[in-house]
Chains A and B, each alone.
Chain A
Amino acid sequence: MASAILDGLVRALGLILSADPILVEITARSLAISGLATLAASLWSIPLGALIGLGRFRGRLFLRGVFNALLGIPTVTLGLVLYLLISKSGPLGFLHLLYTPTAIILGQAVLVTPILVSFIASSLEAVDPDVRNLALTLGSSESEAALAVLNESLEGALLAVTAGFNRALAELGIALMVGGNIRGVTRMLTTYIALETNRGEVALGIAFAVVLLTIVGAVNLSVNFLQRRLLR
Protein backbone atom coordinates (compact mmCIF):
# COMPACT_ATOMS: atom_id res chain seq x y z
CA MET A 1 0.00 0.00 0.00
CA ALA A 2 2.85 2.36 0.82
CA SER A 3 4.18 1.68 -2.64
CA ALA A 4 0.82 2.70 -4.06
CA ILE A 5 1.18 6.11 -2.42
CA LEU A 6 4.67 6.46 -3.86
CA ASP A 7 3.39 5.30 -7.25
CA GLY A 8 0.70 7.94 -6.96
CA LEU A 9 3.20 10.70 -6.25
CA VAL A 10 5.37 9.71 -9.20
CA ARG A 11 2.31 9.47 -11.40
CA ALA A 12 1.05 12.85 -10.21
CA LEU A 13 4.33 14.42 -11.21
CA GLY A 14 4.20 12.75 -14.61
CA LEU A 15 0.60 13.88 -15.21
CA ILE A 16 1.36 17.46 -14.23
CA LEU A 17 4.60 17.70 -16.24
CA SER A 18 3.01 16.23 -19.36
CA ALA A 19 -0.09 18.45 -18.91
CA ASP A 20 -2.30 15.37 -19.22
CA PRO A 21 -5.44 16.46 -21.13
CA ILE A 22 -7.85 14.74 -18.73
CA LEU A 23 -6.09 16.30 -15.76
CA VAL A 24 -6.19 19.76 -17.33
CA GLU A 25 -9.85 19.45 -18.30
CA ILE A 26 -11.03 18.18 -14.92
CA THR A 27 -8.89 20.65 -12.97
CA ALA A 28 -10.11 23.60 -15.03
CA ARG A 29 -13.72 22.51 -14.56
CA SER A 30 -13.27 22.06 -10.81
CA LEU A 31 -11.63 25.47 -10.43
CA ALA A 32 -14.31 27.23 -12.46
CA ILE A 33 -17.24 25.51 -10.74
CA SER A 34 -15.93 25.88 -7.19
CA GLY A 35 -14.67 29.41 -7.93
CA LEU A 36 -18.03 30.52 -9.27
CA ALA A 37 -19.79 28.85 -6.35
CA THR A 38 -17.60 30.76 -3.88
CA LEU A 39 -18.11 33.97 -5.83
CA ALA A 40 -21.88 33.54 -5.86
CA ALA A 41 -21.94 32.65 -2.17
CA SER A 42 -19.82 35.74 -1.40
CA LEU A 43 -22.44 37.96 -3.01
CA TRP A 44 -25.00 37.17 -0.35
CA SER A 45 -22.81 35.88 2.46
CA ILE A 46 -20.58 38.92 2.96
CA PRO A 47 -23.52 41.31 3.49
CA LEU A 48 -25.27 38.69 5.63
CA GLY A 49 -22.12 38.07 7.67
CA ALA A 50 -21.65 41.82 8.11
CA LEU A 51 -25.24 42.20 9.21
CA ILE A 52 -24.90 39.46 11.81
CA GLY A 53 -21.46 40.56 12.93
CA LEU A 54 -22.21 44.27 13.20
CA GLY A 55 -25.95 44.42 13.68
CA ARG A 56 -27.70 44.77 16.99
CA PHE A 57 -31.08 43.16 16.45
CA ARG A 58 -33.25 40.56 18.15
CA GLY A 59 -32.52 36.98 17.14
CA ARG A 60 -28.99 37.81 16.04
CA LEU A 61 -27.43 35.21 18.31
CA PHE A 62 -30.00 32.64 17.23
CA LEU A 63 -29.23 33.31 13.56
CA ARG A 64 -25.55 33.06 14.34
CA GLY A 65 -26.15 29.72 16.05
CA VAL A 66 -28.05 28.41 13.03
CA PHE A 67 -25.19 29.26 10.66
CA ASN A 68 -22.66 27.75 13.04
CA ALA A 69 -24.67 24.54 13.19
CA LEU A 70 -24.97 24.44 9.39
CA LEU A 71 -21.16 24.36 9.19
CA GLY A 72 -21.42 20.67 9.97
CA ILE A 73 -23.94 19.65 7.32
CA PRO A 74 -22.81 16.48 5.51
CA THR A 75 -22.36 17.21 1.81
CA VAL A 76 -24.19 14.00 0.89
CA THR A 77 -27.27 15.23 2.76
CA LEU A 78 -27.13 18.60 1.07
CA GLY A 79 -26.62 16.83 -2.26
CA LEU A 80 -29.61 14.59 -1.63
CA VAL A 81 -31.89 17.50 -0.70
CA LEU A 82 -30.78 19.41 -3.79
CA TYR A 83 -31.29 16.32 -5.93
CA LEU A 84 -34.86 15.95 -4.65
CA LEU A 85 -35.48 19.64 -5.41
CA ILE A 86 -34.13 19.71 -8.96
CA SER A 87 -35.00 16.16 -9.98
CA LYS A 88 -37.58 16.07 -12.79
CA SER A 89 -40.29 15.12 -10.29
CA GLY A 90 -39.08 17.72 -7.78
CA PRO A 91 -40.51 21.24 -7.34
CA LEU A 92 -37.69 22.79 -9.42
CA GLY A 93 -37.57 20.01 -11.99
CA PHE A 94 -38.80 22.31 -14.76
CA LEU A 95 -35.48 24.16 -14.66
CA HIS A 96 -33.69 21.06 -16.04
CA LEU A 97 -30.69 21.67 -13.83
CA LEU A 98 -29.93 18.07 -12.84
CA TYR A 99 -26.58 16.74 -14.09
CA THR A 100 -25.35 20.18 -15.15
CA PRO A 101 -22.38 22.22 -13.86
CA THR A 102 -24.88 24.90 -12.80
CA ALA A 103 -26.44 22.47 -10.35
CA ILE A 104 -23.06 21.86 -8.72
CA ILE A 105 -22.34 25.59 -8.56
CA LEU A 106 -25.65 26.20 -6.78
CA GLY A 107 -25.10 23.31 -4.40
CA GLN A 108 -21.57 24.32 -3.48
CA ALA A 109 -22.65 27.94 -3.06
CA VAL A 110 -25.24 26.78 -0.53
CA LEU A 111 -22.61 24.58 1.12
CA VAL A 112 -20.08 27.37 1.67
CA THR A 113 -22.61 30.02 2.72
CA PRO A 114 -22.51 29.09 6.43
CA ILE A 115 -18.69 29.10 6.34
CA LEU A 116 -18.58 32.58 4.87
CA VAL A 117 -21.30 33.98 7.11
CA SER A 118 -19.91 32.50 10.33
CA PHE A 119 -16.29 33.42 9.65
CA ILE A 120 -17.10 36.94 8.57
CA ALA A 121 -19.44 37.53 11.50
CA SER A 122 -16.77 36.23 13.90
CA SER A 123 -14.02 38.33 12.45
CA LEU A 124 -16.21 41.46 12.65
CA GLU A 125 -17.08 40.74 16.25
CA ALA A 126 -13.40 40.34 17.02
CA VAL A 127 -12.57 43.83 15.79
CA ASP A 128 -11.81 46.10 18.74
CA PRO A 129 -15.01 48.09 19.50
CA ASP A 130 -12.76 51.13 19.90
CA VAL A 131 -12.34 51.22 16.12
CA ARG A 132 -16.02 51.91 15.69
CA ASN A 133 -16.14 54.33 18.59
CA LEU A 134 -13.08 56.16 17.38
CA ALA A 135 -14.53 56.51 13.90
CA LEU A 136 -17.77 57.84 15.36
CA THR A 137 -15.91 60.27 17.60
CA LEU A 138 -13.95 61.48 14.60
CA GLY A 139 -17.21 62.49 13.03
CA SER A 140 -17.95 59.50 10.81
CA SER A 141 -21.52 58.58 10.11
CA GLU A 142 -22.82 55.21 11.34
CA SER A 143 -22.22 53.59 7.91
CA GLU A 144 -18.75 55.06 7.61
CA ALA A 145 -17.93 53.61 11.02
CA ALA A 146 -19.18 50.23 9.83
CA LEU A 147 -16.90 50.54 6.81
CA ALA A 148 -13.93 51.20 9.10
CA VAL A 149 -14.74 48.01 11.02
CA LEU A 150 -15.11 46.07 7.75
CA ASN A 151 -11.73 47.33 6.69
CA GLU A 152 -10.17 46.12 9.95
CA SER A 153 -11.68 42.66 9.46
CA LEU A 154 -10.51 42.27 5.87
CA GLU A 155 -8.14 39.54 6.94
CA GLY A 156 -11.03 37.52 8.36
CA ALA A 157 -13.09 38.01 5.22
CA LEU A 158 -10.23 36.80 3.06
CA LEU A 159 -9.80 33.76 5.27
CA ALA A 160 -13.53 33.08 5.04
CA VAL A 161 -13.55 33.20 1.24
CA THR A 162 -10.45 30.98 1.04
CA ALA A 163 -11.90 28.46 3.47
CA GLY A 164 -15.15 28.46 1.49
CA PHE A 165 -13.34 27.86 -1.78
CA ASN A 166 -11.29 25.03 -0.26
CA ARG A 167 -14.43 23.40 1.08
CA ALA A 168 -16.17 23.68 -2.30
CA LEU A 169 -13.20 22.30 -4.20
CA ALA A 170 -12.77 19.37 -1.81
CA GLU A 171 -16.41 18.31 -1.41
CA LEU A 172 -17.69 15.15 -3.06
CA GLY A 173 -21.32 14.56 -2.05
CA ILE A 174 -22.93 17.42 -3.95
CA ALA A 175 -20.89 16.99 -7.12
CA LEU A 176 -21.80 13.31 -7.17
CA MET A 177 -25.50 13.64 -6.36
CA VAL A 178 -26.48 16.56 -8.57
CA GLY A 179 -23.62 16.43 -11.08
CA GLY A 180 -23.57 12.70 -11.70
CA ASN A 181 -19.83 12.54 -12.50
CA ILE A 182 -20.61 12.55 -16.23
CA ARG A 183 -17.48 12.32 -18.33
CA GLY A 184 -16.73 15.61 -20.06
CA VAL A 185 -19.64 17.43 -18.42
CA THR A 186 -19.66 17.26 -14.64
CA ARG A 187 -16.59 15.21 -13.83
CA MET A 188 -14.60 17.02 -11.13
CA LEU A 189 -11.39 16.31 -9.21
CA THR A 190 -13.16 14.72 -6.25
CA THR A 191 -15.65 12.65 -8.25
CA TYR A 192 -12.82 11.44 -10.48
CA ILE A 193 -10.72 10.47 -7.44
CA ALA A 194 -13.69 8.54 -6.01
CA LEU A 195 -14.35 6.82 -9.35
CA GLU A 196 -10.78 5.76 -10.00
CA THR A 197 -10.36 4.58 -6.41
CA ASN A 198 -13.51 2.45 -6.73
CA ARG A 199 -12.14 1.11 -9.97
CA GLY A 200 -9.03 -0.03 -8.15
CA GLU A 201 -6.85 2.58 -9.91
CA VAL A 202 -5.35 3.53 -6.56
CA ALA A 203 -2.24 5.25 -7.91
CA LEU A 204 -4.34 7.41 -10.24
CA GLY A 205 -6.62 8.29 -7.33
CA ILE A 206 -3.60 9.38 -5.28
CA ALA A 207 -2.14 11.31 -8.23
CA PHE A 208 -5.30 13.40 -8.63
CA ALA A 209 -5.48 13.91 -4.86
CA VAL A 210 -1.96 15.32 -4.99
CA VAL A 211 -3.09 17.72 -7.69
CA LEU A 212 -6.07 18.76 -5.58
CA LEU A 213 -3.82 19.40 -2.58
CA THR A 214 -1.35 21.32 -4.73
CA ILE A 215 -4.11 23.64 -5.92
CA VAL A 216 -5.45 24.17 -2.41
CA GLY A 217 -1.90 24.85 -1.21
CA ALA A 218 -1.19 27.28 -4.03
CA VAL A 219 -4.44 29.17 -3.46
CA ASN A 220 -3.72 29.50 0.24
CA LEU A 221 -0.16 30.66 -0.36
CA SER A 222 -1.24 33.34 -2.78
CA VAL A 223 -3.96 34.51 -0.42
CA ASN A 224 -1.40 34.71 2.38
CA PHE A 225 0.88 36.68 0.12
CA LEU A 226 -1.94 38.99 -0.93
CA GLN A 227 -2.94 39.46 2.66
CA ARG A 228 0.51 40.47 3.79
CA ARG A 229 0.87 42.97 0.98
CA LEU A 230 -2.61 44.25 1.64
CA LEU A 231 -2.21 44.81 5.34
CA ARG A 232 1.12 46.69 5.12
Chain B
Amino acid sequence: MNRNTTIIVAAAIVSALALGGIYILWPKANAGDTTLVVSTTTSLYDTGILDQIEEVFEAEHDIDLYFISVGTGLAITHAQRGDADMILVHAPSQELSFLENGYGANRKIVAYNFFSIVGPEGDPAGIADMAPNDALARLVEKGRAEEAIWVSRGDDSGTHTKEKALWGMAGFDVSALRDEDWYREAGSGMGTTLKIAEEVDAYTLTDMGTYLKYYTDGLISLEVQVGAGEELLNVYSALAINPVYNEDANLDDATTFMEFLASSEGQSIFETYGVDTYGTALFNPAVELLRSDPSSTIAQWIAGAAFFDGSECPEEYRVGDTELYS
Protein backbone atom coordinates (compact mmCIF):
# COMPACT_ATOMS: atom_id res chain seq x y z
CA MET B 1 0.00 0.00 0.00
CA ASN B 2 1.51 3.33 -0.95
CA ARG B 3 1.19 6.68 0.70
CA ASN B 4 -1.78 7.73 -1.43
CA THR B 5 -3.79 4.66 -0.46
CA THR B 6 -2.98 5.35 3.17
CA ILE B 7 -4.23 8.88 2.84
CA ILE B 8 -7.39 7.66 1.15
CA VAL B 9 -8.01 5.07 3.88
CA ALA B 10 -7.39 7.66 6.59
CA ALA B 11 -9.68 10.15 4.85
CA ALA B 12 -12.37 7.48 4.54
CA ILE B 13 -12.18 6.68 8.26
CA VAL B 14 -12.31 10.35 9.22
CA SER B 15 -15.27 11.11 6.97
CA ALA B 16 -17.13 8.01 8.14
CA LEU B 17 -16.63 9.21 11.71
CA ALA B 18 -17.67 12.74 10.84
CA LEU B 19 -20.84 11.51 9.11
CA GLY B 20 -21.59 9.20 12.03
CA GLY B 21 -21.01 12.06 14.39
CA ILE B 22 -23.35 14.36 12.53
CA TYR B 23 -25.98 11.64 12.57
CA ILE B 24 -25.58 11.08 16.31
CA LEU B 25 -25.41 14.75 17.27
CA TRP B 26 -28.03 16.07 14.86
CA PRO B 27 -31.32 16.90 16.54
CA LYS B 28 -33.73 14.01 16.14
CA ALA B 29 -36.89 14.08 14.09
CA ASN B 30 -38.99 14.78 17.16
CA ALA B 31 -36.86 17.79 17.96
CA GLY B 32 -39.95 19.88 18.56
CA ASP B 33 -40.60 17.87 21.69
CA THR B 34 -39.53 19.21 25.02
CA THR B 35 -37.40 17.00 27.22
CA LEU B 36 -38.12 16.08 30.81
CA VAL B 37 -35.16 14.75 32.80
CA VAL B 38 -36.35 12.38 35.51
CA SER B 39 -33.75 11.26 38.00
CA THR B 40 -34.89 7.98 39.46
CA THR B 41 -33.90 5.09 41.71
CA THR B 42 -32.27 1.98 40.29
CA SER B 43 -34.74 -0.35 41.98
CA LEU B 44 -37.53 1.24 39.99
CA TYR B 45 -35.65 1.53 36.69
CA ASP B 46 -34.11 -1.94 36.78
CA THR B 47 -37.55 -3.59 36.89
CA GLY B 48 -38.25 -2.18 33.41
CA ILE B 49 -41.54 -0.57 34.41
CA LEU B 50 -40.33 2.90 33.44
CA ASP B 51 -39.68 1.71 29.87
CA GLN B 52 -43.34 0.77 29.62
CA ILE B 53 -44.49 4.01 31.24
CA GLU B 54 -42.26 5.93 28.83
CA GLU B 55 -43.74 4.16 25.83
CA VAL B 56 -47.35 4.87 26.82
CA PHE B 57 -46.66 8.45 27.92
CA GLU B 58 -44.59 9.49 24.90
CA ALA B 59 -47.27 8.15 22.54
CA GLU B 60 -49.72 10.66 24.02
CA HIS B 61 -47.52 13.67 24.71
CA ASP B 62 -44.92 15.71 22.85
CA ILE B 63 -42.51 15.25 25.72
CA ASP B 64 -39.29 13.20 25.61
CA LEU B 65 -38.67 11.44 28.90
CA TYR B 66 -35.00 11.18 29.86
CA PHE B 67 -34.68 8.72 32.73
CA ILE B 68 -31.40 8.90 34.62
CA SER B 69 -31.17 5.83 36.83
CA VAL B 70 -29.12 6.38 39.98
CA GLY B 71 -29.53 5.73 43.70
CA THR B 72 -32.01 7.87 45.63
CA GLY B 73 -29.14 9.83 47.20
CA LEU B 74 -27.60 10.78 43.86
CA ALA B 75 -31.04 11.42 42.32
CA ILE B 76 -31.61 14.11 44.96
CA THR B 77 -28.12 15.54 44.38
CA HIS B 78 -28.88 15.77 40.65
CA ALA B 79 -32.05 17.69 41.39
CA GLN B 80 -30.29 20.06 43.79
CA ARG B 81 -27.66 20.85 41.19
CA GLY B 82 -30.32 21.65 38.63
CA ASP B 83 -29.64 18.57 36.50
CA ALA B 84 -33.10 17.01 36.78
CA ASP B 85 -36.61 18.36 36.31
CA MET B 86 -38.17 15.78 38.54
CA ILE B 87 -37.29 12.86 40.82
CA LEU B 88 -38.96 9.50 41.35
CA VAL B 89 -37.69 8.02 44.62
CA HIS B 90 -38.50 5.94 47.67
CA ALA B 91 -37.00 7.48 50.79
CA PRO B 92 -39.61 9.61 52.64
CA SER B 93 -37.09 11.01 55.15
CA GLN B 94 -34.84 12.27 52.35
CA GLU B 95 -37.89 13.58 50.46
CA LEU B 96 -38.99 15.60 53.48
CA SER B 97 -35.64 17.35 53.78
CA PHE B 98 -35.69 17.88 50.01
CA LEU B 99 -38.99 19.74 50.42
CA GLU B 100 -37.98 21.56 53.62
CA ASN B 101 -34.76 22.83 52.09
CA GLY B 102 -36.77 24.43 49.31
CA TYR B 103 -35.56 22.19 46.47
CA GLY B 104 -38.74 20.21 45.86
CA ALA B 105 -42.43 20.84 45.30
CA ASN B 106 -45.63 18.99 44.43
CA ARG B 107 -44.84 15.64 45.98
CA LYS B 108 -47.15 12.85 44.91
CA ILE B 109 -47.20 9.30 46.26
CA VAL B 110 -47.72 7.05 43.24
CA ALA B 111 -47.11 3.44 44.28
CA TYR B 112 -46.01 1.13 47.05
CA ASN B 113 -44.81 -2.39 47.66
CA PHE B 114 -42.96 -4.15 50.44
CA PHE B 115 -39.33 -4.72 51.19
CA SER B 116 -38.42 -8.25 52.20
CA ILE B 117 -35.77 -9.79 54.37
CA VAL B 118 -34.46 -12.69 52.31
CA GLY B 119 -32.11 -15.42 53.41
CA PRO B 120 -30.70 -18.83 52.53
CA GLU B 121 -32.99 -21.78 51.86
CA GLY B 122 -33.75 -23.60 55.11
CA ASP B 123 -33.44 -20.33 57.06
CA PRO B 124 -30.47 -21.28 59.31
CA ALA B 125 -31.07 -18.32 61.62
CA GLY B 126 -34.73 -19.25 62.06
CA ILE B 127 -36.31 -15.85 61.44
CA ALA B 128 -39.10 -16.90 59.07
CA ASP B 129 -42.35 -14.99 59.56
CA MET B 130 -41.11 -13.15 62.64
CA ALA B 131 -41.91 -9.48 63.04
CA PRO B 132 -39.08 -7.45 61.42
CA ASN B 133 -37.79 -6.13 64.76
CA ASP B 134 -37.58 -9.61 66.26
CA ALA B 135 -36.07 -11.05 63.09
CA LEU B 136 -33.30 -8.44 63.11
CA ALA B 137 -32.63 -8.99 66.81
CA ARG B 138 -32.35 -12.71 66.14
CA LEU B 139 -29.95 -12.03 63.24
CA VAL B 140 -27.70 -9.94 65.49
CA GLU B 141 -27.64 -12.74 68.04
CA LYS B 142 -26.92 -15.40 65.40
CA GLY B 143 -24.42 -13.18 63.67
CA ARG B 144 -22.41 -12.64 66.83
CA ALA B 145 -22.44 -16.42 67.34
CA GLU B 146 -21.07 -16.72 63.79
CA GLU B 147 -24.19 -18.53 62.60
CA ALA B 148 -25.54 -15.86 60.26
CA ILE B 149 -24.24 -13.15 57.92
CA TRP B 150 -25.97 -9.91 56.92
CA VAL B 151 -25.17 -8.10 53.69
CA SER B 152 -26.07 -4.42 53.58
CA ARG B 153 -26.36 -2.32 50.41
CA GLY B 154 -24.15 0.26 52.09
CA ASP B 155 -24.71 2.84 49.34
CA ASP B 156 -27.16 5.38 50.84
CA SER B 157 -29.83 4.26 48.41
CA GLY B 158 -33.50 4.24 49.36
CA THR B 159 -33.24 0.57 50.30
CA HIS B 160 -30.18 1.27 52.43
CA THR B 161 -31.98 4.17 54.10
CA LYS B 162 -34.81 1.79 54.91
CA GLU B 163 -32.40 -0.81 56.27
CA LYS B 164 -30.81 1.69 58.62
CA ALA B 165 -34.25 2.78 59.83
CA LEU B 166 -35.20 -0.85 60.48
CA TRP B 167 -32.07 -1.46 62.58
CA GLY B 168 -32.88 1.70 64.50
CA MET B 169 -36.44 0.55 65.16
CA ALA B 170 -35.12 -2.79 66.36
CA GLY B 171 -32.90 -0.94 68.83
CA PHE B 172 -29.51 -1.23 67.14
CA ASP B 173 -27.02 1.40 66.08
CA VAL B 174 -25.90 0.74 62.50
CA SER B 175 -22.65 2.65 62.93
CA ALA B 176 -21.70 0.13 65.63
CA LEU B 177 -22.98 -2.91 63.71
CA ARG B 178 -20.81 -1.97 60.72
CA ASP B 179 -17.71 -2.89 62.69
CA GLU B 180 -18.90 -6.40 63.44
CA ASP B 181 -17.65 -9.29 61.32
CA TRP B 182 -21.01 -10.71 60.35
CA TYR B 183 -22.30 -7.35 59.06
CA ARG B 184 -20.93 -6.77 55.56
CA GLU B 185 -21.40 -3.78 53.29
CA ALA B 186 -21.66 -4.42 49.56
CA GLY B 187 -21.54 -0.79 48.44
CA SER B 188 -23.41 -1.92 45.32
CA GLY B 189 -26.78 -1.99 43.65
CA MET B 190 -29.53 -4.40 44.67
CA GLY B 191 -28.71 -7.08 42.09
CA THR B 192 -25.04 -7.29 43.07
CA THR B 193 -25.96 -7.27 46.75
CA LEU B 194 -28.35 -10.19 46.22
CA LYS B 195 -25.68 -12.15 44.39
CA ILE B 196 -23.18 -11.51 47.19
CA ALA B 197 -25.74 -12.65 49.76
CA GLU B 198 -26.36 -15.74 47.64
CA GLU B 199 -22.64 -16.60 47.48
CA VAL B 200 -22.03 -16.33 51.20
CA ASP B 201 -25.43 -17.67 52.35
CA ALA B 202 -26.34 -14.38 53.94
CA TYR B 203 -29.49 -12.46 54.80
CA THR B 204 -30.27 -9.09 53.25
CA LEU B 205 -33.04 -6.54 52.76
CA THR B 206 -34.35 -6.28 49.20
CA ASP B 207 -37.04 -4.61 47.18
CA MET B 208 -39.45 -7.12 45.64
CA GLY B 209 -38.93 -6.08 42.02
CA THR B 210 -35.23 -6.91 41.87
CA TYR B 211 -35.66 -9.99 44.06
CA LEU B 212 -38.42 -11.55 41.94
CA LYS B 213 -36.48 -10.93 38.74
CA TYR B 214 -33.35 -12.62 40.08
CA TYR B 215 -35.25 -15.43 41.76
CA THR B 216 -37.44 -16.23 38.73
CA ASP B 217 -34.41 -16.32 36.45
CA GLY B 218 -32.64 -18.75 38.78
CA LEU B 219 -29.80 -16.35 39.56
CA ILE B 220 -30.38 -16.68 43.30
CA SER B 221 -32.04 -19.23 45.55
CA LEU B 222 -32.48 -16.94 48.57
CA GLU B 223 -35.99 -17.10 49.94
CA VAL B 224 -38.28 -14.51 51.46
CA GLN B 225 -38.14 -14.96 55.23
CA VAL B 226 -39.92 -11.80 56.40
CA GLY B 227 -42.05 -10.30 53.69
CA ALA B 228 -44.85 -8.10 54.94
CA GLY B 229 -45.78 -5.80 57.75
CA GLU B 230 -46.01 -2.09 58.26
CA GLU B 231 -42.30 -1.69 58.95
CA LEU B 232 -41.37 -3.08 55.51
CA LEU B 233 -43.61 -0.76 53.52
CA ASN B 234 -41.87 0.81 50.51
CA VAL B 235 -43.47 3.98 49.17
CA TYR B 236 -42.58 5.52 45.80
CA SER B 237 -43.12 9.24 45.26
CA ALA B 238 -42.67 11.74 42.48
CA LEU B 239 -41.38 15.22 43.28
CA ALA B 240 -41.02 18.24 41.00
CA ILE B 241 -38.38 20.93 41.43
CA ASN B 242 -39.47 24.07 43.27
CA PRO B 243 -39.43 26.90 40.70
CA VAL B 244 -38.31 29.32 43.40
CA TYR B 245 -35.14 27.24 43.76
CA ASN B 246 -34.57 26.57 40.07
CA GLU B 247 -36.71 28.50 37.61
CA ASP B 248 -35.14 26.65 34.67
CA ALA B 249 -36.51 23.29 35.72
CA ASN B 250 -39.26 22.08 33.44
CA LEU B 251 -42.18 22.36 35.88
CA ASP B 252 -44.92 22.27 33.21
CA ASP B 253 -43.87 18.92 31.78
CA ALA B 254 -43.05 17.54 35.21
CA THR B 255 -46.62 18.35 36.26
CA THR B 256 -48.00 16.72 33.11
CA PHE B 257 -45.97 13.59 33.75
CA MET B 258 -46.90 13.46 37.44
CA GLU B 259 -50.58 13.83 36.55
CA PHE B 260 -50.14 10.97 34.10
CA LEU B 261 -48.54 8.77 36.78
CA ALA B 262 -51.45 9.56 39.11
CA SER B 263 -54.10 9.06 36.42
CA SER B 264 -56.01 5.81 36.16
CA GLU B 265 -54.01 5.02 33.01
CA GLY B 266 -50.65 5.48 34.75
CA GLN B 267 -51.84 3.70 37.88
CA SER B 268 -53.01 0.69 35.88
CA ILE B 269 -49.44 0.19 34.64
CA PHE B 270 -48.29 -0.10 38.26
CA GLU B 271 -51.15 -2.49 38.95
CA THR B 272 -50.36 -4.90 36.13
CA TYR B 273 -46.63 -4.64 35.52
CA GLY B 274 -44.92 -7.97 36.09
CA VAL B 275 -48.06 -10.12 36.37
CA ASP B 276 -47.32 -11.90 33.08
CA THR B 277 -43.71 -12.61 34.00
CA TYR B 278 -43.78 -13.25 37.74
CA GLY B 279 -47.40 -14.17 38.37
CA THR B 280 -47.66 -11.19 40.70
CA ALA B 281 -47.48 -7.42 40.27
CA LEU B 282 -44.23 -5.78 41.35
CA PHE B 283 -45.96 -2.61 42.54
CA ASN B 284 -49.33 -1.54 43.88
CA PRO B 285 -51.03 1.66 42.77
CA ALA B 286 -51.43 4.10 45.68
CA VAL B 287 -53.40 7.07 44.37
CA GLU B 288 -56.94 5.69 44.34
CA LEU B 289 -56.40 3.88 47.65
CA LEU B 290 -55.32 7.07 49.40
CA ARG B 291 -58.14 9.08 47.81
CA SER B 292 -61.12 6.81 48.29
CA ASP B 293 -60.20 4.55 51.17
CA PRO B 294 -57.92 6.51 53.51
CA SER B 295 -59.00 4.55 56.54
CA SER B 296 -57.94 1.16 55.15
CA THR B 297 -55.03 -0.56 56.86
CA ILE B 298 -52.54 -0.05 54.04
CA ALA B 299 -53.55 3.58 53.53
CA GLN B 300 -52.98 4.10 57.24
CA TRP B 301 -49.57 2.48 56.96
CA ILE B 302 -48.66 4.72 54.02
CA ALA B 303 -49.83 7.76 55.97
CA GLY B 304 -47.74 6.65 58.94
CA ALA B 305 -44.59 6.02 56.92
CA ALA B 306 -44.69 8.62 54.19
CA PHE B 307 -47.03 11.51 55.09
CA PHE B 308 -45.70 14.82 56.32
CA ASP B 309 -48.00 16.72 58.71
CA GLY B 310 -50.85 14.40 57.73
CA SER B 311 -50.53 14.98 53.99
CA GLU B 312 -48.54 13.52 51.10
CA CYS B 313 -47.63 17.10 50.25
CA PRO B 314 -48.41 19.88 52.76
CA GLU B 315 -49.95 23.04 51.24
CA GLU B 316 -46.80 25.13 51.54
CA TYR B 317 -44.95 22.78 49.17
CA ARG B 318 -47.57 22.91 46.42
CA VAL B 319 -46.92 25.16 43.44
CA GLY B 320 -48.61 26.01 40.16
CA ASP B 321 -51.92 24.93 38.81
CA THR B 322 -52.27 21.18 39.18
CA GLU B 323 -54.98 18.57 39.54
CA LEU B 324 -52.66 16.35 41.56
CA TYR B 325 -54.38 16.97 44.86
CA SER B 326 -58.02 17.22 43.83
- A28's nearest neighbour on chain B, judged by CB, is B20
Distance between A222 CB and nearest chain B CB, rounded to angstroms: 10
* Given A33-B24, A99-B37, A198-B42: A185 and B66 interface contact (C-beta under 8 Å): yes
Q: In chain A, residues 78-92, which have Cβ atoms closer than 8 Å to a Cβ of chain B?
A: 87-90
Contacts of B102 in A (CB 8 A): none
A29→B20 CA distance, assembly (Å): 8
**Interface of A (DSSP majority class):** helix
Q: Is the CB of A199 within 8 A of B20?
A: no
B265 at the interface (CB under 8 A from A): no
A109→B313 CA distance, assembly (Å): 45
Contacts of B14 in A (CB 8 A): 39
Distance between B74 CB and nearest chain A CB, rounded to angstroms: 10
Distance between A115 CB and nearest chain B CB, rounded to angstroms: 18
B315 at the interface (CB under 8 A from A): no
Cβ proximity bits A25-46 to B, threshold 8 Å, 1 near / 0 not: 0001101110110010000000
Distance between A206 CB and nearest chain B CB, rounded to angstroms: 13
Count how many chain A residues have C-beta atoms less than 8 Å from C-beta atoms of the other chain: 35
B147 at the interface (CB under 8 A from A): no
Contacts of B54 in A (CB 8 A): 183
Cβ proximity bits A57-72 to B, threshold 8 Å, 1 near / 0 not: 0000000000000000
Cβ proximity bits B40-79 to A, threshold 8 Å, 1 near / 0 not: 0010001110010010000000000011110000000000
Q: Is the CB of A99 within 8 A of B213?
A: no
Cβ proximity bits A187-206 to B, threshold 8 Å, 1 near / 0 not: 00000000101111010000
A74 at the interface (CB under 8 A from B): no
Distance between A165 CB and nearest chain B CB, rounded to angstroms: 10
| Chain A residues in the interface with B (C-beta under 8 A) | 28-29, 31-33, 35-36, 39, 87-90, 93, 98-102, 105, 180-185, 195, 197-200, 202, 226, 229-230, 232
| Chain B residues in the interface with A (C-beta under 8 A) | 1, 6, 9, 14, 17-18, 20-21, 23-25, 28, 37, 42, 46-48, 51, 54, 66-69, 81-83, 189-192, 210, 213-214, 217, 219, 246, 248
